[in-house]
């Protein structure tokens, strides 16, 4: 097992990883930007080092600085969390060259699955259903030809996209050229890679993902599934485990497909395969070769500490339980608490003047907030994740309503009221909602 791990991230996920390391007896090293000098993860870690200015490119995306700190502190491994450098194959290669373990499936797998059009081909080879799509589009003329073959509506996607960026839905030929230019520019700006491909756009679908865990011996365990259909501008707001109104037969098919794909690429550690579900059919969307924000709901239901097992499997430890040991008998819901105006959704900043976190059995708030903490404009707006678990979905909804009503955050605008709207919405309560639900509720 690793004796020391550097956490190349910030905020809630850095705190989550440090907690797991402490429980495992692992020494932790935090890195931080000048804007995060007073951040919670800095004080929690055993060692902490400033690596640059407030901007991401100067600090949390600064590969040279992060690797230098890891080498000087003799950290055996780096945990990238999610976002930041977590799915960057170049960073993975740099770690390998310096004999540092990046807690990930490795640069080769990250490269394959990070290129979404290549991931589609690998999924097809593993017998996983995919929607009709194209190869990389060299120019807008190629996009017009592909769209005429696939049929409108289509969706343009950046090969290296993520976080809701580099995506545009195109419903007619008149929209295609503008959308193509927009996606290309956004992809170049956000990912330094303007390669684009196209897929058939499916209307009124559910977004369901499957959580897997793999070890060096090729053992793959499915830890459960999650519904992530509550999204605004391709950003997830609410997740629940297991996905409601999914038949046992369809769920089993998705699990079997996920295992086949994981084995096809030799997957090790924690990963997530995302699908679009329409009726009794599912289609591969992408694979996330990292920890997901929403891993917490799966932990609550499965009883498996996903972060601990991510670290163990990266260190070469074999999984010591079987698929039959994963019994999904409870239901968990997660609401992402974000710093934004509840009416305009404009980002919010400010000092946390008062913070009250809900309590009770199976109520959890994963966050890096504390009283007098200053929320700056430099980073993602997510302040924390409010998670509840109960014996039934109805019970989980009631528990979430209770937790939201108890949650108090003064000084920074946040979206608590928005989440309460969903908990009281009949369509959400029934469970038969899809990715269009935000348009109807908000």
Fold (topology level) of 132-200? Dna Ligase; domain 1 (3.30.1490)
Cα 356 to Cα 416: distance, rounded to the nearest angstrom: 13
Mean residue pLDDT of the chain comes to 95
d(CA 81, CA 257): 26
From the CB of residue 320, how many other CB atoms can be counted at a distance below 10 Å? 10
State if pTM tops 0.85.
Answer: yes
Residue 344 is predicted with a pLDDT of 82
Q: How many beta carbons lie within 10 A of that of residue 243, not counting itself?
A: 24
Q: What percent of the chain has pLDDT over 70?
A: 99
Under DSSP, the state recorded for 280 is T
pLDDT in tens, 372-410: 999 999 999 999 999 999 999 999 999 999 999 999 999
- pLDDT for the residue 233: 84
* pLDDT, tens digit (0-9, with 9 covering 90-100), for 273-310: 999 999 999 999 999 999 999 999 999 999 999 999 99
Domain boundaries for CATH 3.30.1490.20 within the chain = 132-200
* Residue from 384, 424, 382 nearest 402 by CA: 424
What pLDDT, on a 0 to 100 scale, did the predictor assign at position 442?
82
Tell me how far apart the alpha carbons of residues 420 and 226 are, in angstroms, rounded to a whole number: 20
Confidence class for position 75, pLDDT limits 50, 70, 90: very high
Residues of the chain with CATH 3.30.470.20: 206-441
Upstream peptide bond of 242 is cis (omega within 30 degrees of 0): yes
Domain 206-441 has CATH 3.40.630.30: no
Active site residue 120: no
Q: What DSSP designation does 79 have?
A: E
Contact call for residues 232 and 438 (beta carbons, < 8 A): yes
Kindly state the tokens that stand for 157. 């996607």
Rounded Cα–Cα distance for residues 128 and 260 (Å): 8
Average pLDDT over residues 161-190: 89
Assess whether pLDDT exceeds 80 at residue 161.
Answer: no
Bond before 153 cis per omega within 30 degrees: yes
pLDDT value of residue 354: 97
Task: Note the pLDDT of residue 192.
Answer: 80
Mean pLDDT confidence for 77-105: 96
State the Cα–Cα distance between residues 293 and 82, nearest whole angstrom. 7
Sole residue written with tokens 């907030």: 369
- The 3-state DSSP class for residue 57 equals helix
Nearest in space to 190 (alpha carbons), one of 285, 284, 84, 103: 84
At residue 144 the predicted structure's pLDDT band, cuts being 50, 70 and 90, is: very high
Indicate which residue of 16, 94, 159, 290 is catalytic. Answer: 290
Question: CATH 3.40.50.20 in the chain, residues?
Answer: 4-103
CA distance 150 to 335: 36
Give the span between the Cα atoms of 429 and 8, in whole angstroms.
Answer: 38
Instruction: For residue 10, give both structure tokens.
Output: 């910030």
- Gap between the terminal Cα atoms of the chain: 47
Average pLDDT over residues 21-36: 98
Smallest Cα–Cα separation from 86: which of 70, 69, 101, 104?
Answer: 104
Strand segments (E) across 264-361: 269-278, 281-288, 331-338, 350-351, 354-356
Q: How far out from the chain centre does Cα 194 lie?
A: 22
Residue whose C-alpha is closest to residue 337's, from 300, 381, 372? 381
pLDDT band at residue 163 using 50, 70 and 90 as cut-offs: low
pLDDT of 65 strictly over 90: yes
> Using CA atoms, how far apart are residues 285 and 228, in angstroms rounded to an integer?
13
The CATH number, out of the four listed (3.90.1150.10, 3.40.190.10, 3.40.630.30, 3.40.50.20), of the domain defined by the range 4-103: 3.40.50.20
Q: How far apart are CA 2 and CA 162, in angstroms?
A: 30
- Beta bridge partners, 368, equal none
User: Which residues are within 8 A (CB) of 233 and not within 5 positions of it... i.e. 6 or more apart?
Assistant: 164
pLDDT digits 0-9 by tens, 338-355: 999 877 888 999 999 999
Q: How far, in Å, CA of 403 to CA of 239, rounded?
A: 16
Whether the per-residue pLDDT at 234 is higher than 70: the answer is: yes
pLDDT at 46 (0 to 100): 98
């Amino acid at each position: 097992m690793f004796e020391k791990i550097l956490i190349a991230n910030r905020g809630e996920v850095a705190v989550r990883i440090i907690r797991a390391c402490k429980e495992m007896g692992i020494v932790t090293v935090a890195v931080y930007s000048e804007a995060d000098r007073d951040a919670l993860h800095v004080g929690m870690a055993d060692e902490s080092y400033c690596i640059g200015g407030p901007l991401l490119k100067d600090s949390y995306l600064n590969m040279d600085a992060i690797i230098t700190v890891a080498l000087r502190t003799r950290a055996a491994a780096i945990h990238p969390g999610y976002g930041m450098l977590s799915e960057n194959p170049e960073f993975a290669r740099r770690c390998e060259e310096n004999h540092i373990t990046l807690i990930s499936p490795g640069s080769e797998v990250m490269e394959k699955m990070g290129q979404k059009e290549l991931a589609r081909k690998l999924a097809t080879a593993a017998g996983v259903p995919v929607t009709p799509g194209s190869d990389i589009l060299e120019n807008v003329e190629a996009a017009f030809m592909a769209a005429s073959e696939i049929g409108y509506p289509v969706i343009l996607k950046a090969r290296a996209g993520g976080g809701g960026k580099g995506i545009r839905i195109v419903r007619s030929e008149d929209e295609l050229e503008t959308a193509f230019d927009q996606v290309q520019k956004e992809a170049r700006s956000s990912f330094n890679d303007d390669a684009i491909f196209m897929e058939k756009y499916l209307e009124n679908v559910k977004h369901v993902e499957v959580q897997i865990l793999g070890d060096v011996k090729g053992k793959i365990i499915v830890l459960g599934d999650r519904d992530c259909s509550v999204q605004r501008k391709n950003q997830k707001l609410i997740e629940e485990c297991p996905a409601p109104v999914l038949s046992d037969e369809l769920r089993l098919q998705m699990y079997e497909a996920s295992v086949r794909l994981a084995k096809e690429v030799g997957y090790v550690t924690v990963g997530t395969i995302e699908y679009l579900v329409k009726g009794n059919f599912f289609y591969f969307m992408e694979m996330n070769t990292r920890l997901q924000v929403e891993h917490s709901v799966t932990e609550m239901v499965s009883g498996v500490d996903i972060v601990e097992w991510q670290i163990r499997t990266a260190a070469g430890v074999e999984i010591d339980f079987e698929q039959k040991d994963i019994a999904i008998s409870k239901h968990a819901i997660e609401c992402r608490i974000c710093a934004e105006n509840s009416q305009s959704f404009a980002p919010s900043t400010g000092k946390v003047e008062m913070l009250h976190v809900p309590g009770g059995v199976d109520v959890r708030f994963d966050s890096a907030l504390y009283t007098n903490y200053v929320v700056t404009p430099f980073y993602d707006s997510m302040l924390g994740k409010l998670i509840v678990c109960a014996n039934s979905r109805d019970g989980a909804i009631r528990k979430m309503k209770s937790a939201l009503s108890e949650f108090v955050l003064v000084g920074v605008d946040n979206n608590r009221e928005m989440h309460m709207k969903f908990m009281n919405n009949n369509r959400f309560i029934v469970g038969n909602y899809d990715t269009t639900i935000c348009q109807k509720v908000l």
